[in-house]
Amino acid sequence: MKLDRTDARLLDLLQRNNRLSSEILGAKVGLSASGVQRRLKRLRALRIIEADVSIISPKAIGRNVTLLVLVSYRQILVTARPVRRRRLWADGQSVWR
């Protein structure tokens, strides 16, 4: 789905602060509060807006940050072969080593 400028501006504002009221959002994008609500409802129905999320400060609630890291690797074995180097002498003859 192609978003118009108003949709894009609304999404930008919501990403910065999802607690802004419809009235404030409308004033910033040039829509009425009900126009903002209709657009947000459509964006949620289309799953463009998947969730409204609150970011909690771990420090504020006395918790350490826990990271879960998944690392995978594949070892590739390379068989080394002797490399034959060719040396070119000044007289034009070559010698293989």
Q: Domain for residue 35, yes or no?
A: yes
> Side chain identity at 55, as an amino acid letter?
I
Residue 86, pLDDT score: 60
Each residue's pLDDT tens digit, 34-78 = 999 999 999 999 999 999 888 888 888 888 777 788 888 777 666
Residue 10, pLDDT score: 96
The tally of domains found in the chain comes to 1
Its domain, for residue 22, covers 5-45
Q: Domain for residue 37, yes or no?
A: yes
* Residues 55, 91: Cα–Cα separation, whole Å: 75
Question: In this model, does residue 95 exceed pLDDT 60?
Answer: no
Q: Domain for residue 87, yes or no?
A: no
Each residue's pLDDT tens digit, 13-39 = 999 999 999 999 999 999 999 999 999
Q: Supply 49's token pair.
A: 């807006």
Residue 96, pLDDT score: 54
Domain with 32 in it: what CATH number? 1.10.10
Q: Domain for residue 88, yes or no?
A: no
Q: Domain for residue 26, yes or no?
A: yes
Q: Domain for residue 51, yes or no?
A: no
Q: Domain for residue 31, yes or no?
A: yes
Each residue's pLDDT tens digit, 74-94 = 776 666 666 566 665 655 565
Contact between 37 and 4 under an 8 Å Cβ cutoff? The reply is: no
Residue 65, pLDDT score: 73
Q: Domain for residue 62, yes or no?
A: no
**94 beta partners:** 88
Residue 79, pLDDT score: 64
